[in-house]
Amino acid sequence: MEGIEKTLIRQMNDLADGSCLNLGLGELRFPTPRAILDHVRDHIGSWRLGYTPNEGFRELKELIAARHGWAVEPGRVCVTNGAQEALFAALMVLVDSGDDVLVPDPGYPAYASIVKMAGGVPRSYALNGASGFALDIGAVEAALSPSTAAVIINCPHNPTGAVYDRESVRVLAALCDSRGIPIISDEVYAAIYYDRAPTSPAFFSPRCVVVDSLSKTYSMTGWRLGWCIVPEDMISPLAAFHQLSVTCASAVSQHAAMFALRGGADAEKDDNLRELARRRDLAIACLKRNGLAFVEPAGTFYIMVDVTTRRPRFGTSLDLAKAFLAREKVVTIPGSAFGARGEGYLRISFAAAPADIEEGVRRLARFLQN
């Protein structure tokens, strides 16, 4: 664990107090749908709340398999304590000491840390702001090596909001299959898109590992309920790691997940997604009105604000984000938190309340102009 720290995302949020506007944390501000809460309240007394099967309730695994829309056997599903544990379990199974794992730059910072904790070496492939952070197959191919154990892809993409086109995903799957390298596809934002629906590489590659959860789609971050879908020959070691590390996911959360995946909360979920689309439009309008450059997101609830021309006054994007927090009491995440290619940007979240989005952007424009 030497050299492993909390991500800069958490470090920035730790610097804030209750008086701050928070445009930083990657969490929907909507409550868990009332239908889910009511279902748990009404039925919890009749549920057996002991250990569940290590890989999760059979019915839940069947619902997860059906949700993903291709030929998935429920026996290839392992229910985990959020997508984070699913990522950890997959990398612990796939990575030997010294193996490379390709991670996006910019990308979710936990990827590189988990690779290191699994004994591997994170190697980045570049996503460029000039192309809207589109998937660059050439960059991935250039980063591959004989020691590459896996390639991590995240779509819709945190922090940029990019949604990759279907053909790029197909070509990536073919490239990785030709080298015998599995793709780990982080799909926790798969339901949050505003135009083109994302395509899973699992449609094209039988070796794809899919990681997903209810955290973003159903506002259930604190319920810690996710899953991993893996090739058949991988489920046994992955389930063993999962059992030895956490035993099983919460029984209560699994019951709540079954209700959600049966459609019991879809009306509220869909309302929330429509509201997110409105907040995206609001954030874009506010940024334009205040003369701030940004990369328009096609998915997630993040926008990368380009502060390249303003950054020299402050130093790095981290220096700028800290100064902005200290002076204007607004949490943003420096682009450098997501890798070298994120430098020169601030990530803001439009999952916040509309009034906070407007005020936060106004304060950012004021701060950068002074």
Domain-terminating residue out of 261, 286, 313: 261
In angstroms, the CA 282 to CA 77 distance is 38
In angstroms, the CA 357 to CA 268 distance is 22
pTM value is 0.95
Within a domain: 2: no
Domain-terminating residue out of 261, 293, 313: 261
DSSP annotation of 155:
S
How far out from the chain centre does Cα 336 lie?
Answer: 17
Range of the domain at 332: 8-31+266-369
Q: Sort strands 333-334 and 183-186 into parallel, antiparallel or unpaired.
A: unpaired
Are 276 and 342 within one domain? yes
In angstroms, the CA 75 to CA 243 distance is 15
Within a domain: 81: yes
In this structure, what token pair is assigned to residue 46?
């009749």
pLDDT in tens, the chain (370 residues): 787 777 778 788 788 788 889 998 788 889 999 999 999 999 999 999 999 999 999 999 999 999 997 779 999 999 999 999 999 999 999 999 999 999 999 999 999 999 999 999 999 999 999 999 999 999 999 999 999 999 999 999 999 999 999 999 999 999 999 999 999 999 999 999 999 999 999 999 999 999 999 999 999 999 999 999 999 999 999 999 999 999 999 999 999 999 999 999 999 999 999 999 999 999 999 999 999 999 999 999 999 999 988 756 778 999 999 999 999 999 999 999 999 999 999 999 999 999 999 999 999 999 998 7
Within a domain: 122: yes
Are 115 and 48 within one domain? yes
Q: Hunting for tokens 């934002």 — which residue is that? A: 189
In this structure, what token pair is assigned to residue 31?
């409550």
Are 61 and 187 within one domain? yes
Are 63 and 89 within one domain? yes
DSSP lists the bridge partners of residue 229 as 77, 210
Greatest C-alpha distance within the chain: 61
Domain-terminating residue out of 261, 294, 325: 261
